[in-house]
């Protein structure tokens, strides 16, 4: 589970690569999932993207699946 800390910008979360609770940059990205141009405008989904500030490991999760 993510927790806030006293750092300027970030959250501490468990990093799969490090195996530790580390500082992560957390963002939300809108991604187009359809490969067909005519349906692309209807296939955008939000993803939560985290990046470990210690090792650089990135992970994303579709928000509708959370």
**Tens digits of residue pLDDT in 4-38:** 555 456 689 999 999 999 999 999 999 888 777 77
> CA-based angle 8:11:16, to the nearest 5?
140
Residue 57 pLDDT > 70, yes or no? yes
- Rounded to two decimals, the pTM is 0.71
Helices (H), 1-66: none
Q: Which letter does DSSP use for residue 55 in this model?
A: T
Q: How far apart are CA 53 and CA 41, in angstroms?
A: 33
With H, G, I as helix, E, B as strand and everything else as coil, classify residue 9: coil
pLDDT digits (tens, 9 = 90+) for 33-50: 877 777 777 788 899 999
């Amino acid at each position: 589970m993510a927790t806030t800390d006293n750092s300027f910008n970030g959250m501490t979360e468990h990093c799969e690569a490090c195996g530790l609770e580390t500082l992560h940059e957390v963002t939300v990205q809108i991604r187009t999932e359809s490969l067909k141009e005519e349906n692309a405008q209807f296939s955008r989904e939000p993803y939560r993207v985290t990046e470990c500030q210690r090792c650089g490991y990135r992970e994303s999760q579709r928000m509708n699946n959370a």
